[in-house]
């Protein structure tokens, strides 16, 4: 899948994945700041879209600021920003067993729902699973039993790994989700990438149509397929090389992307 550089340069908005594209761990990806600076100099809209299930927009915006990248809070989107409203729209005010970090729990509460403790899992009407750094056999048991007993099953994403600096990684949200799914015998409703809602919200906030925007990401399944699904140009950031057959462009470095846009 290819398109011309002229078509790429005509785009009005660019959405960047964060983990693995703008930063790895606590280190800015080489050339990322220069690409973002160029796009802003050219008068294009820039936003950021992450599948992170442990952080809300303000937390991600603060990390960007620490790394020297300017962004407004409303230009940074995570699945937690829409979690509460998705639950409310599908199941109404709910009793939620939240398997994840404190910001996931806060997002549930802000959506007008109540939290169910792990030891009272049978009261849950919805189970939300994020990347849980305190994941345990007890939590796995509670989540799986609640879902098997009829509770709805929701997750931010199915990404198996969270990339870190130096090529290291942490198990991602998807790794936790798959263990719950296997035990529960059920598949989750996914609200993050590659599903359309976050892409559509990013486009809406930038004030551009899908055909006027590109998604820059390092995951074929989450970023590239999700972008293609809503009609955006898909740019795969692949430092290790390789062609995926789905993206419109494949770049090995942010310097290469900058040259394409110059």
pLDDT in tens, 183-201: 999 999 999 999 999 999 9
> Which pair of structure tokens corresponds to residue 176?
């936790």
Pick the closest to residue 193 from 168, 175, 218, 212 (CA basis).
218
Is 17 assigned a catalytic role? yes
Residue 238 to residues 38, 146, 235, 241: CA-CA distances in angstroms? Answer: 20, 39, 9, 5
Given 19, 75, 132, 223, which residue is catalytic? 19
Same-domain check for residues 49 and 172: no
Could you report the per-residue pLDDT of 238-253, keeping only the tens digit for each?
998 766 789 999 999 9
Same-domain check for residues 107 and 25: no
Pick the closest to residue 177 from 236, 128, 229 (CA basis).
128
CATH of the domain at 15: 3.40.50.1000
Indicate the residue among 190, 212, 231 that finishes a domain.
Answer: 190
Pick the closest to residue 47 from 19, 68, 18, 76 (CA basis).
76
Given 17, 132, 218, 223, which residue is catalytic? 17
Same-domain check for residues 87 and 181: yes
Decide: 153 and 129 in contact? Cβ < 8 Å: yes
Same-domain check for residues 17 and 90: no
Could you report the per-residue pLDDT of 37-84, keeping only the tens digit for each?
999 999 999 999 999 999 999 999 999 999 999 999 999 999 999 999
Could you report the per-residue pLDDT of 114-138, keeping only the tens digit for each?
999 999 999 999 999 999 999 999 9
Same-domain check for residues 99 and 171: yes
Residue 1 has pLDDT above 90, yes or no: no
Around Cβ 49, how many Cβ atoms within 10 Å? 29
Same-domain check for residues 140 and 94: yes
The chain-wide mean pLDDT, for the chain, equals 94
Tell me how far apart the alpha carbons of residues 143 and 227 are, in angstroms, rounded to a whole number.
31
pLDDT at residue number 71: 95
Same-domain check for residues 156 and 171: yes
pLDDT at residue number 135: 97
Same-domain check for residues 13 and 107: no
Is 240 assigned a catalytic role? no
Indicate the residue among 190, 216, 231 that finishes a domain.
Answer: 190
Same-domain check for residues 184 and 198: no
Indicate the residue among 127, 159, 190 that finishes a domain.
Answer: 190
pLDDT at residue number 162: 85
Query: CA Rg, the chain, in Å?
Result: 19
pLDDT at residue number 2: 58
Decide: 113 and 93 in contact? Cβ < 8 Å: yes
**Rounded mean pLDDT of 12-38?**
96
pLDDT at residue number 165: 82
Same-domain check for residues 74 and 103: no
Report the domain count for the chain.
Answer: 2
Q: Where are the alpha helices (DSSP H) in 25-136?
A: 32-41, 57-66, 80-91, 102-110
At residue 192, φ and ψ (nearest 5 deg) are -90, -165
Whether the full predicted model's pTM is greater than 0.85, yes or no, is yes
pLDDT at residue number 241: 77
Torsion over CA: 261, 199, 17, 103 (sign) = positive
Same-domain check for residues 88 and 176: yes
Domain hosting 229: range is: 5-79+193-261
**Rounded mean pLDDT of 90-108?**
97
Same-domain check for residues 88 and 34: no
In three-state secondary structure terms, 48 is strand
**Rounded mean pLDDT of 173-182?**
98
3-state helix, strand, coil in the chain (%, to 5): 45, 20, 35
């Amino acid at each position: 899948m290819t398109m011309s550089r002229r078509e790429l340069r005509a785009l009005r908005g660019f959405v960047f994945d964060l983990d693995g594209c703008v930063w790895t761990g606590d280190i800015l990806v080489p050339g990322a700041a220069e690409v973002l600076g160029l796009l802003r100099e050219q008068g294009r809209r820039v936003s950021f879209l992450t599948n992170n299930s442990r952080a809300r927009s303000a937390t991600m915006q603060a990390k960007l600021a620490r790394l020297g990248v300017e962004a407004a809070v409303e230009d940074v989107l995570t699945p937690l920003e829409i979690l509460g409203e998705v639950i409310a729209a599908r199941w109404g005010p709910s009793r939620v067993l939240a398997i994840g970090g404190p910001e996931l729990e806060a997002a549930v509460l802000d959506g007008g729902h109540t939290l169910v403790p792990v030891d009272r899992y049978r009261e849950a009407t919805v189970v939300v699973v994020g990347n849980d750094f305190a994941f345990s056999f007890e939590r796995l048991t509670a989540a799986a039993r609640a879902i098997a007993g009829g509770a709805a099953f929701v997750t931010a994403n199915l990404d198996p790994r969270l990339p870190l600096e130096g090529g290291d990684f942490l198990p991602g949200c998807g790794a936790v989700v798959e263990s719950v799914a296997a035990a529960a015998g059920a598949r989750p409703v996914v609200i993050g990438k590659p599903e359309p809602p976050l892409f559509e919200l990013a486009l809406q906030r930038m004030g551009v149509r899908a055909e006027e925007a590109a998604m820059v990401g390092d995951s074929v399944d989450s970023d590239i397929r999700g972008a293609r699904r809503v009609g955006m140009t898909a740019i795969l950031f692949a430092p290790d090389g390789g062609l995926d057959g789905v993206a419109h462009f494949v770049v090995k470095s942010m310097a290469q992307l900058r040259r394409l846009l110059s």
